A and B are shown apart, each in its own frame.
Chain A
Amino acid sequence: MHIADGILSTGLCVAAYAVSLPAVYALGRRIEPEEVTRMGLLSAVTFVVSLIHFPLAGTSIHLGLYGLVGILLGRRAFPVIFATLLFQALLFQHGGLLSLGVNSFNMGAGSLLGWAVWRMPGLPDAGKAVSAGFLGVMIPALLMAAEFSFSGYGKGFYYVSAIYLVAATIEGALTAAAVAYFRRVKPEIFAFSQA
């Protein structure tokens, strides 16, 4: 899911930066001190969890927990994902510095959409959590396919993104389990992203 440097056109990467950097600023400004620790901890979790790989259909997929990050951080998820992707690019060569804007946009969009689903009234927690976890993976996968298509690689990547259905289902289940656990042990944790 992390797009490496040199694959997408430079114009697209620059355009993605033009969207991502203002988004990082707008969604990350005026942070309260108590938000900082939560953001740091979730950044550390997403940083580590990306190393858990599963072999699937000749490729390997990994967890991202972008939906859960959206649920727990709300709009702060975007700057956290940007920072985490920066460290992943620098240390693990997951993605690249030129494609950081694109990757942040893709995964940040998944996370924010997960948050939007979480805030929808009248639905049970479990259903919202599964949907948020699922969308947290599928939205970045579909955006990635669209970007590949836009850069002249054809429409085949839309079919490739179907591989992520499995990862999205796993993430949906994990997100629901995490939400159920937090509801039981620390329900006030959700007040943060409901604001």
Chain B
Amino acid sequence: MKKRFLFLMVLAAAILSAHDIEITVEHAPPSVVVRTTYAGTEPAPYAAVLVYAPGKPDTEYQNGRTDENGVFSFVPNQGGEWRFVVDDEMGHRTERAIPVDLSRNAAEGAVSARMPLRLKLVTGLSVILGLTGLLYGYKSRQDRRTR
């Protein structure tokens, strides 16, 4: 009986931790986008979000709820370590402090989202030379057959 109880407790803990809320923060200047998920898979929709500015742990800078996709965004007024509290009011709550760097501008953000130039160059050359090889093989074979 005791063993079964322990097993159930471990199982419950495993299930609960599997549904813990994870936060990822993306810089989208001038906004910061907070994405919330359950264990990195399903979004956490309509969860309550509290945002605390650096150095002001007791006063909410902003509050609100995530949208149906588990996304919440706000515009920070300073850089530093911002604290986020996400609570879905169904037993899942996460508190995280995440650094926000305001010196990163929109152009830098856009560049980081794109494929780097060197990678594009290597990809293009690989495709061109690869297709050349394939076409050469095909034409050589065709040429041998006709002779």
Cβ–Cβ < 8 Å partners of A39 in chain B: 132
Cβ–Cβ < 8 Å partners of A59 in chain B: none
> What residues of chain B have their CB less than 8 Å away from a CB belonging to chain A?
115, 117, 120-121, 123-125, 127-129, 131-133, 135-136, 139-140, 143
Is the beta-carbon distance between B123 and A48 smaller than 8 angstroms? no
List the A residue with the shortest CB-CB distance to B143.
A33
Is the beta-carbon distance between B129 and A40 smaller than 8 angstroms? yes
Task: Evaluate whether A47 and B120 lie within 8 angstroms (CB atoms) in the complex, with A31-B139, A33-B140, A36-B136 already known.
Answer: no
Give the Cβ gap from A189 to chain B, nearest Cβ, in Å: 17
Is the beta-carbon distance between B125 and A44 smaller than 8 angstroms? yes
Q: Is A43 an interface residue (CB 8 A)?
A: yes
A135 to B43: give the CA distance in the assembly, Å.
58
Is the beta-carbon distance between B123 and A91 smaller than 8 angstroms? yes
Interface hub of B120, B125, B128, B136 (most chain A Cβ within 10 A)? B128
Cβ–Cβ < 8 Å partners of B135 in chain A: 31, 36, 40
Give the Cβ gap from A21 to chain B, nearest Cβ, in Å: 18
Cβ–Cβ < 8 Å partners of B115 in chain A: 91
A88 to B127: give the CA distance in the assembly, Å.
12
Give 4 closest A-B pairs by Cβ, nearest first: A40-B132, A33-B139, A36-B136, A91-B120
List the A residue with the shortest CB-CB distance to B139.
A33
Is the beta-carbon distance between A33 and B129 smaller than 8 angstroms? no
> What residues of chain A have their CB less than 8 Å away from a CB belonging to chain B?
31-33, 36-37, 39-41, 43-44, 47-48, 51, 83-84, 87-88, 91-92
13 additional A-B pairs beyond A47-B125, A48-B121, A91-B115, beta carbons within 8 Å, are A33-B136, A33-B139, A33-B140, A36-B136, A37-B132, A40-B132, A43-B128, A43-B132, A47-B128, A51-B121, A83-B128, A88-B124, A92-B120
Cβ–Cβ < 8 Å partners of B127 in chain A: 87
Is the beta-carbon distance between A40 and B143 smaller than 8 angstroms? no
Cβ–Cβ < 8 Å partners of A43 in chain B: 128, 132
Cβ–Cβ < 8 Å partners of A32 in chain B: 139, 143
Is the beta-carbon distance between B124 and A87 smaller than 8 angstroms? yes
Interface hub of A33, A41, A51, A92 (most chain B Cβ within 10 A)? A33
**A–B complex contacts, Cβ < 8 Å, 21 sampled:** A31-B139, A33-B136, A33-B139, A33-B143, A36-B136, A37-B136, A39-B132, A40-B129, A40-B131, A40-B132, A40-B133, A41-B132, A43-B132, A44-B125, A47-B125, A48-B121, A48-B125, A51-B121, A84-B128, A87-B128, A92-B124
